[in-house]
Structure 1
Amino acid sequence: MTSEAFTTCLWFDGKAEEAAAHYLSVFKDSERGSVTRYGEAGPGPAGTAMTVDFTLNGQRFVALNGGPYFTFNEAVSFQIHCADQDEVDYYWSRLAEEGGEPGQCGWLKDRFGVSWQVVPTELPALIGDPDPQKAARTTEAMLTMTKFDIAALRRAHDGQ
């Protein structure tokens, strides 16, 4: 095995280039790599993208136009650790735009069906507080939310 980290392959039905372009526009630290295209031998239409390589925040991805055979589900999701409410709001709105679906507890599906968790970095400390009452209050508040509200989580934690 090479020393290179793992690459995540995302399977799309004809939308690999569109998805990669969207993710590249969302994540500030991103880079587009190579694109391979189907030739006359197929199986996709000649000239259309077969794969698109890209990197988001140091994580390598390849978007594959593999056809309609497989779809995304919540069994696999990507966590975005956010330093503050502005970051939570930014990633939530950008990933949910144009047909994304909000879920519970910071989860959402983007318009391509990929699941994301937009999570404040301080959440694990709040719900893992050694004081069981603080942890319980924070967890109860968290379970009522779609997009996380950090101020509300802190208030719950503090018993306000």
Structure 2
Amino acid sequence: MAQKVRTCLWFDHEAEEAANFYVSLFPNSRIVDIAHYNEAGPGKPGSVLMVTFQLAGVEYLALNGGPIFKFTEAISISVDCVDQAEVDRLWEKLGEGGSYSRCGWLKDRYGLSWQIAPSRVVELISGPDKAGAKRAMEAMMTMAKLDIAAVEAAYNRS
């Protein structure tokens, strides 16, 4: 049975390409289904209407809806990274052809925003040592791609 609640991502015409790109980056990911326009729809008959795909076991829909709507930073996909190697790999792959922002945020080549967020950094900026958490937050705010060791060093500095 499909997931009851899913996020639908509106693309101009790149739904299948984007879904294939995303599933190539995450373990436990796959294309579930591809639906095509028929003669009754607004798209060219036979062209891709919607792609159902899973990223790390979570189901999404990718819709080819045309150029009417664009992605904004108000919606993003947050990725909980286990180590710096995962941060580095996803930062490079997802950001290629897109743009980089601050604090682990980037836009991919399709305009979708991502947060590449190491779980250790989240622990540090909300850690029990309030002064350390403040230093960790201040360090994070100066970064584009998050550097776990640098944020940890800021947290531990007294």
TM range (shorter): over 0.9
Q: 1:28-39 counterparts in 2 under 5 A?
A: 28-39=27-38
- Once the two structures are TM-superposed, the CA of residue 89 in structure 1 deviates from its matched residue by 0.6
What residue is the counterpart of 1:76 in the other structure? 75
Name the structure 2 match of 1:154.
Answer: 152
Amino acid at match of 1:134: G
The CA distance in 2 between the partners of 1:4 and 1:83, in whole Å, is: 25
Structure 2 residue aligned with 1:22:
21
TM-score by length of 1: 0.93
Aligned residues: 158
2:59 matched to which residue of 1? 60
Shift of 1:131: 2.0
Quote how far apart the aligned CAs of 1:3 are.
9.1
Offset from partner CA, 1:96-119 (integer Å, 9 cap, x none): 11x111111000010001110001
Structure 2: distance between partners of 1:132 and 1:36: 51
Q: Match for residue 127 of structure 1?
A: 125
Q: CA deviation at 1:93?
A: 1.0
Other structure's SS at 1:122 match = helix
Bigger CA drift: 118-127 or 106-115?
A: 118-127
Query: What is the 5 A alignment of 1:82-97?
Result: 82-97=81-96
Q: Tell me the alpha carbon deviations over residues 62-86 of structure 1, each in whole angstroms, 9 at most, x when there is no partner.
A: 1100111111001111110011000
Q: Hey, what's the Cα distance between the residues in 1 that align with 2:95 and 2:101?
A: 10
Q: Distance in 1 between matches of 2:154 and 2:3?
A: 42
1:89 counterpart SS class: helix
Deviations 1:17-36 (A, max 9, x none): 11111111111210111111
User: How large is the RMSD of aligned CA atoms in angstroms?
Assistant: 1.5
Structure 2 length normalisation: TM-score?
A: 0.94
Partner of 2:24, secondary structure, is helix
Separation in structure 1 between the aligned mates of residue 60 and residue 7 of structure 2, nearest angstrom: 5
Runs of 4+ with >6 A deviation: none
1:123 CA displacement? 1.6
Q: Among the aligned pairs, what percent are the same residue?
A: 49
Q: In the alignment, which residue of structure 2 is the partner of 1:113? A: 111
Structure 2: tracts of 5 or more residues without a match: none
Q: Tell me, which stretches of 5 or more residues in structure 1 are unaligned? A: none
